[in-house]
């Protein structure tokens, strides 16, 4: 098993330091309402005017719940979204991973303060959700279709597991176990319990992680039950909706009716049991959180039903419903998957949280199957959509991640208003910023995994890692300037016995070389995308991946990309921005060449690709100001233009303007 890892990669250290020094303290100010911030509205549905635009209420809600618990007749207002508690929990999880990376006494002090406040708000029976404690205590566990009670509980449990591992303290874990036991008392197959799960998956994965830490079988049993009960009664959520309407209860999302045409069983992945599902349907984040639990559950329990469900979802998402950038969820309507090959670039939703969840899914599948293609998808989502979710300074965030954007159209087209061309400082639905923070700060957990005493290298990240393989300790040092360069060097300064290292060979790499102690190895075999090498103390292994800039084309069934090309280099997807190439990016045509270089002075240091292409001109007689909108087709005119491409993750950090990933080839 991996005991600990220190990230030394300049690329990732810079981002972790930005998050630790800027983003997490900034988020602390926001969730405590200590800093004024204009809170942007996301396309989550409902009436956004019903929410405050300058206050998050996150920490305040726990204080209000604690005062009400203590009998205060005027405890104050509970504000924000019904799932607002989860923002605090994800912040705490990001702090936990930060404490693994560095000593941060002030941050630890703030986290302990928040844990005290959360504990004070918890009911004696373990229940903890500030919305229902303060606003509608009689409605607990009765509106699971949209209550997010178990979703919030799951984020608390995941945060507590991470915090316990990072600090060795158990106060937060005690809160989490008390809450998990409350859920166990209310959900299960026994008579008198609730025979259903939450409308937003998350608790299942959290209980599995709690089981891994505590080895208490009841948490594994409850997680498996919640996974397998979903879809057994396709009308479970519908019945709760109808009951709430009959009782005259208000919607938990302001302005959004309870019985809504979108909120049917497929939206909640509950139209059939999980092991019968063959398509990713409904809310994208819900889907990948469910999938992550299916994959981890299969790895921990060996349950074939969970494995089958995870495999079915994986194939459908990756083969038919995923963007080149690792984004998922093509529709803003319900933040959802739609159909196979329906992948529009401009109206995409592509929520940051969904790609974070896709990374979780890939990581847990790797533990169960050791298939390098899953590592490819993991880094695809990580280096593109996830990193694009924040400004380089860590103080602005994307909820939606388009592959084509036009500021003018985002303003005038209601169908594109969710596509922002400037990253806001915060959101009314603020799930993405802390989710991104916990993902990047926990990166060390995704670099390697161990199975049957084989160390699998899933991500190429300069680091020093220490392992314990059945009592034998070893240290593995990885040095690389990835993703800008394709050479990865492994050294074994200490190993009590020989071991096997499995190197992921990405599918984008057509040629690679391997040298062990200066000698080129030619007698290697790839097994499901991994190259296995036997190592011992003192060995030095060098893997060199060819990393040319490549043009890629999409499956012709993807209408939005038909006849177009995109440029990738290694795991990085590139894009054209108006600031470099002028407006009307749809008129650009890539040239035959792709010439690249690293520019240390641009966007914090990025690889830049240039192509001697062409631009269709607007000089034809048919394209004068007074000409008709449509006209007889005539020969087209072009002028030479050098097209400059930057990494997709770095767009929208300079002047506001158009952006496009998919471009025309030469005419």
Domains along the chain with CATH numbers: 2-446 (1.50.10), 452-545 (2.60.40.1180), 549-660 (no CATH)
Residue 247's CB is within 10 A of a number of other CB atoms, namely: 10
CA distance 295 to 208: 11
CA distance 349 to 269: 19
Catalytic residue flag (residue 101): no
- What are the tens digits of pLDDT across the range 214-249? 999 999 999 999 999 999 999 999 999 999 999 999
Q: What's the confidence (pLDDT) of residue 254?
A: 85
Q: What's the confidence (pLDDT) of residue 39?
A: 63
Token pair for 205 = 């994965």
Residue 380 has pLDDT above 60, yes or no: yes
Residue 49 has pLDDT above 80, yes or no: no
pTM for the whole structure: 0.94
Exactly one of 353, 431, 432, 575 is catalytic; which is it? 431
Could you tell me which of 101, 99, 102 has the C-alpha nearest to residue 115?
99
CA distance 314 to 587: 36
- What are the tens digits of pLDDT across the range 396-446? 888 899 999 999 999 999 999 999 898 887 776 767 888 899 899 999 999
CA distance 4 to 327: 30
One DSSP character per residue, 491-508 reads: EEEEESS-EEEEEE--TT
One DSSP character per residue, 376-412 reads: HHHHHHIIIIIHHTB-TTSS-B-S---SEE-HHHHHH
Strand runs labelled E in 8-57: 39-40
Token pair for 666 = 């030469």
Average pLDDT, the chain: 93
CA distance 569 to 551: 9
Catalytic residue flag (residue 335): yes
Would you place residue 339 in the very low, low, confident or very high pLDDT band (cuts 50, 70, 90)?
very high
Q: What's the confidence (pLDDT) of residue 112?
A: 97
Q: How, if at all, do strands 454-457 and 499-504 pair? A: parallel
CA distance 268 to 34: 36
Q: What single-letter DSSP state applies at residue 41?
A: P
- CB under 8 Å to 206, separation ≥6 — which residues? 153, 154, 155, 156, 157, 158, 161
Query: Taking the CA of residue 328 as centre, how many other CA atoms within 13 Å lie in the half-sphere pointing to its CB?
Result: 35
Exactly one of 60, 93, 202, 335 is catalytic; which is it? 335
CA distance 73 to 410: 46
Beta pairing partners, 39: 426
Mean of pLDDT values over 254-283: 93
Residue 414, classified by CB atoms within 10 Å of its CB into exposed (0-12), middle (13-18) or buried (19+), is exposed
């Amino acid at each position: 098993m991996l005991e600990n890892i220190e990230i030394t990669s300049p690329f990732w250290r810079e981002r972790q330091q930005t998050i630790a020094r800027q983003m997490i303290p900034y988020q602390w100010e926001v969730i405590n309402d200590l800093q004024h911030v204009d809170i942007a509205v996301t396309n989550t549905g409902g009436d956004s005017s019903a929410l405050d635009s300058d206050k998050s209420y996150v920490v305040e809600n726990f204080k209000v719940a604690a005062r009400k618990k203590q009998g205060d007749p005027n405890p104050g207002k509970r504000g924000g979204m019904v799932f607002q508690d989860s923002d605090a929990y994800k912040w705490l999880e990001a702090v936990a991973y930060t404490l693994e990376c560095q000593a941060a006494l002030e941050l630890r002090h703030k986290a302990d303060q928040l844990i005290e406040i959360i504990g004070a708000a918890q009911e004696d029976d373990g229940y903890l959700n500030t919305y229902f404690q303060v606003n509608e205590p009689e409605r607990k566990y009765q509106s699971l279709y949209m209550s997010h009670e178990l979703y919030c509980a799951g984020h608390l449990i995941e945060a507590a597991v991470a915090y316990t591992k990072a600090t060795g303290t158990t106060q937060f874990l005690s809160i989490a176990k008390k809450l998990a036991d409350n859920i166990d008392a209310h959900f299960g197959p026994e008579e008198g319990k609730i025979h259903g799960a939450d409308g937003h998956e998350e608790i299942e994965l959290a209980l599995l992680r709690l089981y891994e830490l505590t080895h208490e079988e009841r948490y594994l049993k409850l997680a498996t039950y919640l996974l397998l009960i979903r879809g057994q009664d396709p009308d479970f959520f519908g019945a709760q909706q109808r009951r709430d309407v009959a009782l005259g209860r208000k919607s938990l999302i302001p302005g959004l009716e309870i019985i809504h045409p979108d909120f049917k069983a497929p939206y909640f992945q509950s139209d059939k049991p999980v092991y019968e599902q063959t398509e990713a349907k409904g809310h994208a984040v819900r889907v990948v959180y469910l999938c992550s639990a299916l994959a981890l559950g299969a790895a921990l329990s060996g349950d074939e039903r969970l494995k089958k469900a995870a495999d079915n979802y994986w194939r459908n998402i990756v083969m038919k419903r995923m963007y080149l950038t690792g984004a998922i969820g093509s529709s803003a309507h319900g933040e959802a998957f739609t159909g196979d090959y329906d992948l529009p670039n401009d109206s995409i939703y592509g929520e940051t949280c969904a790609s974070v969840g896709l990374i979780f899914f890939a990581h847990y599948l790797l533990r169960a199957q050791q298939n390098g293609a899953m590592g490819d998808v993991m880094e695809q989502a990580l280096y593109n959509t996830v990193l694009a979710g924040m400004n380089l300074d860590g103080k602005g965030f994307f909820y939606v991640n388009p592959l084509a954007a036009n500021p003018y159209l985002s303003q005038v087209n209601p169908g594109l208003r969710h596509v922002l061309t400037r990253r806001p400082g915060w959101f009314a639905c603020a799930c993405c910023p802390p989710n991104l923070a916990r993902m990047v700060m926990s990166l060390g957990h995704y670099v390697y995994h161990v199975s049957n005493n084989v160390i699998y290298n899933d991500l190429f990240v300069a680091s020093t890692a220490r392992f314990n393989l059945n009592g034998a300790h070893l240290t593995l040092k990885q040095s690389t300037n990835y993703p800008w360069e394709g050479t990865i060097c492994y050294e074994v300064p200490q190993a009590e016995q020989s071991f096997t290292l499995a190197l992921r060979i990405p599918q984008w790499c057509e040629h690679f070389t391997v040298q062990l102690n200066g000698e080129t190895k030619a007698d290697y075999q790839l097994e499901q995308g991994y190259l296995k090498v036997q190592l011992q103390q003192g060995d030095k292994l060098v893997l060199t991946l060819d990393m040319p800039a490549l043009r890629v084309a999409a499956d012709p069934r993807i209408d939005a990309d038909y006849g177009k090309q995109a440029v990738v280099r290694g795991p990085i997807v590139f894009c054209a921005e108006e600031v470099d190439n002028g407006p009307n990016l749809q008129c650009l045509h890539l040239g035959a060449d792709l010439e690249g270089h690293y520019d240390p002075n641009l966007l914090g240091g990025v690889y830049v690709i240039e192509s001697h292409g062409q631009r269709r001109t607007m000089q034809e007689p048919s394209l004068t100001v007074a000409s008709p909108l449509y006209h007889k087709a005539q020969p087209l005119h072009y002028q030479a233009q050098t097209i400059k491409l930057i990494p997709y993750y770095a767009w929208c950090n300079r002047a506001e303007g158009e952006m496009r990933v998919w471009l025309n080839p030469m005419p």
